Amino acid sequence: MSVGSSRFQRFLLPGLAFKSVVIGGGYATGRELAEFFLPSGPQGGIMGMVFAMLIWSVVCALTFMFAQATASFEYRAFFRALLGRFWPVFEFAYLIFMVLILAVFAAAAGAIVEAMTGLPALVGTLMLMFGIGLFSAFGNLLVERLFQWASFFLYAVYALFLIFTLTSFGDRIADGFALQIDAEGWAAGGLTYASYNIVAAVVILPIARHFTCRRDAMIAGVLAGPLAMLPAILFFVCMIAWFPQIAGQALPSDFILRQLDRPWFHIAFQSMIFLALLESGVGAVHAINERAAAAWQQRRNAAMPNSHRIVMATIVLIGSVFVADRFGLIDLIARGYRALAWLFLCVYVLPLLTFGAWRLWCTRGGANALQS
């Protein structure tokens, strides 16, 4: 834990980092929103998103508090404290998750570059993979700077996106929300979406070292839900102008940008999506590197060389590129994410809400009471 951490690092950075991981792939392009929330209609979709946001806040708060109490600043240490000898079950699930989301990011990046420039999709995929490998190679400081500055750009672009869409198609959005559509399924959609994305709270555990007490961790966790969901809600509101046909678009963002017909903003938005994919990919790979670095430090009593980080990132990224080339973006999201949602519920969320919460309650008087 770092007693010299700023309030920004303790309260806001964890939420921005959490947002950086969950936003990639379908969130940034709108594909996940179309998959999990549009089937419930405009009102039901908003209800599902608010429900998912509340789940994120609760689970992030408990995750950060448990990590702070056990000094678990990477996922291996966290799950050894939470699951004991069964911790490898989570690592198996996380490796599947990481390959899947990196494949989604690669497919999305390829689709974006192809739509913007006409170049082969593989060019965009390789550009993203190179960026992820570069940022993942140099440890926590560079990763945190990426999360911080990219977030400012992202929020600004989403705010402009909402303003432009309301200005040009506000009447269509109002008509969409006025439709009387059965909102059945919003809770299931919100639960599923929240469940597979909540693993991002574990991915960003290296940032938990900034917490100085359990109160810091709780506040940061509560704020993480709104910080991560706000851009998604803004995006979803814009999508309603073309409900329900937009549900069939592989890249809803690109569809809306073509309707807005603002070439300069089209470029800015697509650049933001690419940056969001970079943030998410860096977060996922950085979690693996930090887990390996902790094991290296424990066994050799020395810091893991940056060259090893680059090698590990390269191996993971190359495997994910092949998955992205084999399956399309829509199939990856529809087939893979729902299974992962149930898996993470079983090996992470349920143990945390039961055993983890019980341990925190029993030791609520001491900041470091759970440390072994």
pLDDT digits (tens, 9 = 90+) for 32-71: 899 899 999 999 999 999 999 999 999 999 999 999 999 9
| Sequence-separated contacts (24+) of 270-275 with Cβ below 8 Å | 270/112, 270/115, 270/116, 272/28, 272/153, 272/154, 272/157, 272/158, 273/28, 273/29, 273/108, 273/112, 274/109, 274/112, 274/113, 274/124, 274/127, 274/128, 275/150, 275/153, 275/154
Flag whether 361 is in a domain: no
Flag whether 367 is in a domain: no
Question: What percent of the chain clears pLDDT 70, i.e. is strictly above it?
Answer: 91
For residue 211, give the 3-state DSSP assignment.
Answer: coil
Give me the pLDDT at residue 354, please. 95
- The residue-averaged pLDDT of 340-353 equals 88
Q: Give the torsion sign (CA, 135, 331, 159, 168).
A: positive
| 87-121 as b/e: b if 16+ CB within 10 A | beebeebbeebbbbbbbbbbbbbbbbbbbbeeeeb
For 319, counting Cβ atoms within 10 Å of its Cβ (0-12 exposed, 13-18 middle, 19+ buried), the class is middle
Give me the pLDDT at residue 336, please. 63
Cα 200 to the chain's mean position, in Å?
Answer: 5
- 327 vs 372, residue with greater confidence: 327
- At residue 323 the predicted structure's pLDDT band, cuts being 50, 70 and 90, is low
Give me the pLDDT at residue 70, please. 93
Residue 119 · residue 252 · CB < 8 Å = no
Query: What is the spatial distance between Cα 162 and Cα 107, in angstroms, rounded to a whole number?
Result: 26
**Would the pLDDT of 369 be above 60?**
no
* Report for 121-130, 226-235, 309-318: range of highest mean pLDDT: 226-235
In the block, residue with structure tokens 């996106």: 161
Give me the pLDDT at residue 326, please. 63
Give me the pLDDT at residue 367, please. 47
Give me the pLDDT at residue 372, please. 46
pLDDT digits (tens, 9 = 90+) for 201-253: 999 999 888 999 999 999 999 999 999 999 999 999 999 999 989 988 877 88
Structural tokens at position 103: 């494949």
Structural tokens at position 270: 């697509």
Flag whether 82 is in a domain: yes
Give me the pLDDT at residue 19, please. 92
CA distances to 44, 248, 348, 349 from 355, rounded to whole Å, are 33, 42, 11, 10
- 170 vs 303, residue with greater confidence: 170
Flag whether 62 is in a domain: yes
| Sequence-separated contacts (24+) of 337-341 with Cβ below 8 Å | 337/32, 337/35, 337/100, 337/192, 337/196, 338/192, 338/196, 340/93, 340/96, 340/97, 340/100, 340/196, 341/191, 341/192, 341/193, 341/195, 341/196
**Would the pLDDT of 152 be above 60?**
yes
Q: Give the torsion sign (CA, 280, 76, 337, 356).
A: negative
Query: What is the spatial distance between Cα 284 and Cα 22, in angstroms, rounded to a whole number?
Result: 10
Flag whether 19 is in a domain: yes
For the chain, the 3-state helix, strand and coil shares in percent, each to the nearest 5, are: 85, 0, 15
Cα 101 to the chain's mean position, in Å?
Answer: 10
Flag whether 163 is in a domain: yes
Flag whether 136 is in a domain: yes
* Report for 96-100, 116-120, 326-330: range of highest mean pLDDT: 116-120
- At residue 25 the predicted structure's pLDDT band, cuts being 50, 70 and 90, is low
Flag whether 371 is in a domain: no
The parent domain of residue 274 ranges over 7-355
| 321-360 as b/e: b if 16+ CB within 10 A | bebbeebebbebbeebbbebbebbbebbbebbeeebeebb
State the chain's mean pLDDT as an integer: 86
pLDDT digits (tens, 9 = 90+) for 154-181: 999 999 999 999 999 999 999 999 988 8
**Would the pLDDT of 4 be above 80?**
no
Q: What is the CATH number of the domain that holds 143?
A: 1.20.1740.10
Q: Find all residues with CB under 8 Å of 191, minimum gap 6, and list them.
A: 51, 52, 55, 341
**Number of domains the chain is built from:** 1
Q: Find all residues with CB under 8 Å of 311, minimum gap 6, and list them.
A: none
